[in-house]
């Protein structure tokens, strides 16, 4: 197999993994949360964010790591009592040793802890009781990366750039952005805003577009031409090894949109090249501004819905953060009568039809839902089956939230929600 085929197979395998594991959306959701909250301790914030958003998965990982660490320290759950007995018998020759008695008691406490389930709280206690293993000393300091701090005031005062483009150019850029894994999660409005802010860059044959080791500042989309990618290598003639050739429709340099990390490769124009570029500061301002605007729009939209009328601004913004956009084609069934409900919906655009099955086997239309209408709210509070079937009448867009997410983020608001729901007719 040629090197080119191997490279394509590797890329396809990596692409498949990123798509299957939803890595891109996860990564960007973390960055969005960091930009919105601007925590002093971003690492701790990310850890807490993942724990809160994915409690089951993170607890399984912590439990597994905790058990492995305990085993490596010789305190495996099945052996801790024997260890305690051994220490106690060895301590009989010196009963006055306070430290030894404390060690015995500590070992027995560990044995007791092992017999209980690994709750979030007990994990923290167990880990504090164990001696932390020494952290290996790095043989070489890692290269630091950083990003500019962008505040809400800066974002609010910023005017987004709009670079004129032909319809063909705009369509081409949109296609490239959608095909880029890092940017494919963006909604239509965000994609349009980024596309409008991109500026044209033209390079001649042999010109360096980005140089390995330099700090990254721009992300590039190739409209026309070829771009050769090289990595520095002492084993190659000229000190560079050509690893890839990018063509029209490809993009590169997306890591520069997140922080000014050193470039990982050198990109050189192979002939005349026409590119569209976006700088990091503009991208982060766009991302923050569109996210903030979306939260505000959703909050204002929710204010006019009866079920949320008693919620504070903070509570509305919290709900706005949990809601997901969903689109349905004409005739799509959103929920079916008799099925277990676990999701709440708010109609954003379009119309939905509610029907109920009759005793004679026919269905009767009982309501039409327009923007601002909601359904499935009982699913957030009870385990009752769906009382009607809801179908899209034409293209339909909804905001939705599942019960688990609602309970995790807004559990204390259940009483407020219950007071907002009118009493059932039957």
Binding residues: 254, 263, 377, 386
- Cβ atoms of residues 139 and 87 within 8 Å: no
Cβ-count burial of 413 within 10 angstroms (0-12 exposed, 13-18 middle, 19+ buried)?
buried
Q: Give the largest CA-CA distance in the chain.
A: 90
Residue with tokens 């119309």: 351
- Cβ atoms of residues 9 and 17 within 8 Å: no
Measure the CA–CA gap between 296 and 414, rounded to whole angstroms. Answer: 23
SS3 124: helix
Which amino acids are annotated as binding site for 3',5'-cyclic AMP, given as ranges? 254, 263, 377, 386
Residue with tokens 């009989």: 92
Rounded to 5 degrees, what are φ and ψ at 361? 95, -5
Query: Which among 247, 267, 243, 244 has a CA at the least distance from the CA of 255?
Result: 267
Measure the CA–CA gap between 143 and 133, rounded to whole angstroms. Answer: 25
Measure the CA–CA gap between 72 and 122, rounded to whole angstroms. Answer: 19
Measure the CA–CA gap between 370 and 248, rounded to whole angstroms. Answer: 43
Give the β-pairing of 266-279 and 343-357: unpaired
């Amino acid at each position: 197999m040629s090197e080119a085929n191997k490279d394509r197979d590797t890329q396809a395998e990596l692409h498949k993994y990123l798509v299957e594991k939803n890595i891109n959306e996860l990564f960007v959701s973390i960055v969005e949360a960091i930009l919105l909250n601007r925590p002093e301790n971003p690492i701790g914030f990310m850890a807490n964010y993942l724990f809160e958003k994915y409690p089951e998965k993170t607890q399984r990982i912590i439990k597994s790591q905790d058990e492995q660490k305990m085993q490596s320290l010789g305190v495996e759950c099945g052996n801790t009592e024997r260890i305690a007995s051994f220490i106690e018998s060895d301590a009989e020759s010196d009963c006055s040793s306070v430290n030894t008695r404390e060690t015995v008691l500590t070992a027995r406490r560990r044995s007791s802890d092992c017999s209980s389930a690994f709750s979030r709280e007990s994990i923290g206690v167990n880990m504090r009781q164990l001696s932390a293993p020494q952290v290996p000393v790095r043989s070489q300091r890692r290269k630091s990366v950083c990003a500019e701090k962008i505040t809400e005031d800066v974002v609010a005062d910023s005017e987004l750039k709009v670079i004129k483009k032909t319809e063909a150019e705009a369509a081409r850029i949109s296609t490239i952005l959608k095909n880029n894994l890092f940017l494919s999660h963006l909604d239509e409005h965000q994609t349009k805003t980024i596309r409008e802010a991109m500026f044209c860059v033209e390079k001649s044959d042999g010109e360096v577009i980005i140089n390995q080791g330099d700090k990254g500042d721009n992300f590039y989309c190739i409209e026309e031409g070829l771009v050769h990618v090289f990595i520095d290598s002492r084993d190659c003639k000229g000190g560079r090894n050509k690893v890839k050739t990018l063509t029209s429709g490809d993009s590169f340099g997306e890591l520069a949109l997140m922080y000014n990390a050193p470039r990982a490769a050198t990109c050189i124009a192979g002939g005349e090249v026409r590119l569209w570029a976006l700088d990091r500061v503009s991208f982060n301002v766009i991302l923050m501004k569109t996210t903030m605007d979306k939260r505000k729009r959703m909050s204002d939209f929710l204010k006019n819905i009866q079920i949320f009328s008693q919620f504070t601004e903070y509570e509305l913004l919290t709900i706005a953060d949990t809601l997901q956009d969903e689109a349905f084609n004409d005739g799509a069934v959103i929920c079916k009568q008799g099925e277990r409900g676990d999701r709440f919906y708010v109609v954003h655009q379009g119309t939905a039809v509610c029907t109920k099955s009759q005793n004679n086997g026919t269905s009767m239309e009982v309501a039409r839902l327009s923007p601002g209408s909601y359904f499935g709210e009982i699913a957030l509070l009870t385990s009752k089956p769906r009382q009607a079937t809801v179908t899209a009448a034409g293209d339909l867009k909804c905001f939705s939230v599942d019960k688990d997410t609602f309970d995790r983020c807004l559990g204390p608001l259940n009483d407020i929600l219950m007071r907002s729901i009118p009493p059932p007719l039957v």
